[in-house]
Structure 1
């Protein structure tokens, strides 16, 4: 009897997924039309009206492929679906998920979206990783887009804390890893948390899909933090969508000379709250729990950067470098008062102490 009920449920889910996949594949059927169909209630009947036998057979086969791959789907009314109402402008009528565990209700844990530029600085990636670790350690799910730079760093931090499971919102099919270099991270987020997409399996990346997925990221978030951003790009789109939805936006301040801080500093000038550390995220979420710095991987540690051991040459190097990456040649030109030998000793010492990073001849201050 139990097996019969389970079989009936599986068949029902298969038919409903086939209807959704079939409808979404039709010309002229977009997000708003799918919402209208969802609100009408009888998705399968609508699909039968709009399809022929061959189309239904193809949609059924596609749905079977999804279920065989372990893909589950949610729609409005399901606890894991983040829509607030029918026609929610920030959430599709149907979402596809890949997860190593049953999907928890959307409201079961607080969530923070951590986003930023793909061309992140070393300092920016460290901040994103630390924020991700601190939040996951404190029981906050980290949501991001699995892009290079800030997104990937935030997810790596969340995974390192072994705390609240992360969520990755992607702009491709759940079997199309993009960017390919993040394949290991992608699979780890899927295994220990969840991946989410509005696109069927096999959907390849396209430039317009990534700004579109940002609305889903916002809908999954109780707070959005922009770590680094240029003066235009996806992170600012995400911040704008969050403002539309009433989701608080925090921004990490940066140097006025840094191109990766132009967007975040502009957000601050426009009235966003600053994020100076994980405590600001906790406050925005309305709770007071503080992570143990040792457990969270260091976000709460206060590192004394300037002490009596800094030499005059060290200070000259840091003053000349500022917070922008600089080639070794440019730094030498900016420090004419130092001999080449003195400059080299100062730089090597600052790198050893973790104040500078040397990346293929480009020096960047990270503390």
Structure 2
């Protein structure tokens, strides 16, 4: 599991929340000191009455918001006041509510289709791959950290089983023969099969050259006594080898060579049969099912999932580091194509939309159940720490704002009291 440590010099969300808590508490204490001083010396100058009114109301507002914020996560001052420590006391209900919210608002096919239709996934992915620093902000950093925390917190076995089961189910439903036939037919139509044929011809020549002694020995053993006695067996072997080398060389350099044409015809026939021959399609399907049922494929799938999960954690924890080097350059080139090619964007966006709708239809209930069961397994302290670390800094701003707004209200009321 990838470590969640931050780089030196960067503060975690929990550290930033703790710092803002100190600021909010210090502001409340400062208002208390100001109130005590102005109350004691109020008679020295009429203006001190305004300061006292501000500080008094600020204390009330700050204390009220301190109680409200604290009551979310724990009992204020350790007192078991009713309807406090709301999050730890209701973590199971929160898990169920969170799961229901996710399913109702994000994982129904209609919602997914509508949201995906309004999002240019290809362009966004292209912009990020072309330059991972684009749009870098506190929001994106927080979202990446939250995603990494969720990935690390979810049960790897259960999540992996869900992902591998989904992939295996898609492979089971995929009719492989027509797809292979279409790919092969498209490659032949575009001439992309020729480098493959030429590579096979060169490989055949290299194989014959590497096994010349074996071929000569085989011909010698199968030749009759007269041929061996006269030495014609050796001449026959050399003639066969020379003929093979000449045939392969001519096939390689002559575009319209009969052997090359025979190979192309064989590939065209194979592409046609993969699409239209029911018997061949059945054989390919049987081979596919045998591969999927093989334990070796299961082990390969386990390794693929673990490598993918680890890589995803590395990317969300440190996108610039994970996307560096030659791999990053290749991804940047892909990102540029995704960002600028409108036709490619349509294809990718349509595929992403259909994929997400399919996932939400088949696995939406399992996904939200995985989330709710994971949160339920957390103890109350873990739930409190994670939520407070994620939103605690903004909650402390509520305390600060409550202190200042309360002070302004007190100041206004004091002014109105003097005016009336």
What range describes the TM-score normalised by the shorter chain of this pair? under 0.3
Structure with the greater relative contact order (CA < 8 A, sep ≥ 6): 1 or 2?
2
Q: Select the structure that is richer in strand.
A: 1
Compare CA radii of gyration and give the structure with the larger one. Answer: 2
Q: TM-score, normalised by structure 1?
A: 0.21
**If each structure's helix is expressed as a fraction of its own residues, which one has the higher value?**
2
TM-score by length of 2: 0.19
